[in-house]
Amino acid sequence: MGQLENQTAVVTGAGRGIGRSIALKFASEGADIVCVSRTSDNSEKVATEVRALGRKAWPYAVDVSDANAVSAASERILAEAGRVDILVNNAGVTRDGLLMRMSEQDWDTVLDTNLKGAFLFTKALTRAFIKQRSGRIINVASIIGLIGNAGQANYAASKAALIGFTKSIARELASRNITANALAPGFIETDMTASLNPEVRAELLKKVPLNSFGQPEDIANAAVFLAGPSARYITGQVLTVDGGLVM
């Protein structure tokens, strides 16, 4: 029996990379998955992979920064799935650039997706968590939210704020047996890092004590831990999965 047997998890940003890996890992541990992605193609593709593992899957194409869209989707999710036990706020974007050249639109796009999206989905599902007196909320932040990074003021601000958001809702919801924790991935092999040139990759690796980039599965394994029974007494924490980069 898997650690998440017969539970239902909502995973945003499930269409690729870390989100896809979390969705498939949760499914392999027995969970049914609501696959939320910006595009119907990506959400349906991952839902098909989840079903191949023998679990139920519901694909949703949702712009997580759109309050009306998130509210409507959440109502449908609860109606179709019956309940939600786990929420993983993973949807995220980057619009990198030095502060002096950063447009207001690039700032807003990153904060709206990375931070407001987590707020909207958490708010939309919190009433259901409270009613059932259980729930696990996992917010995918980043080590950049802990240490900052030149050229990523918007991204760093969104992820640092997501950590503060996590700690606050952990305090609000603890009395109802709802936990909230954050994951802070380091340099993970995704589409984002694949585009880096060899020189930049080499310089980044010098900063990682374990001398390798992480895999999406490393983040998925940590998410399973936080969602599973072994993390019953853990809330308001930030778990870095970064090969020792931030100590």
Q: Return d(Cα 91, Cα 188) in angstroms, integer.
A: 15
52 DSSP 8-state letter: H
* Candidates 155, 165, 187, 213; catalytic one: 155
How far is the CA of 161 from the CAs of 11, 144, 150, in angstroms? 20, 11, 17
211 DSSP 8-state letter: -
Q: Look up tokens 């993390």; give the residue.
A: 231
Answer yes or no: are the C-beta atoms of 16 and 45 closer than 8 Å. Answer: no
Query: Does 233 qualify as catalytic in the annotation?
Result: no
- Spatial strand order of the sheet with 32-37 comes to 57-61, 32-37, 8-12, 86-89, 135-140, 178-185, 238-241
Answer yes or no: are the C-beta atoms of 37 and 44 closer than 8 Å. Answer: no
Residue 35's DSSP bridge partners are: 11, 59
Q: Look up tokens 């072994």; give the residue.
A: 230
> Degrees (nearest 5) of the Cα angle 240, 137, 120?
110
| Catalytic residue numbers, as ranges | 155
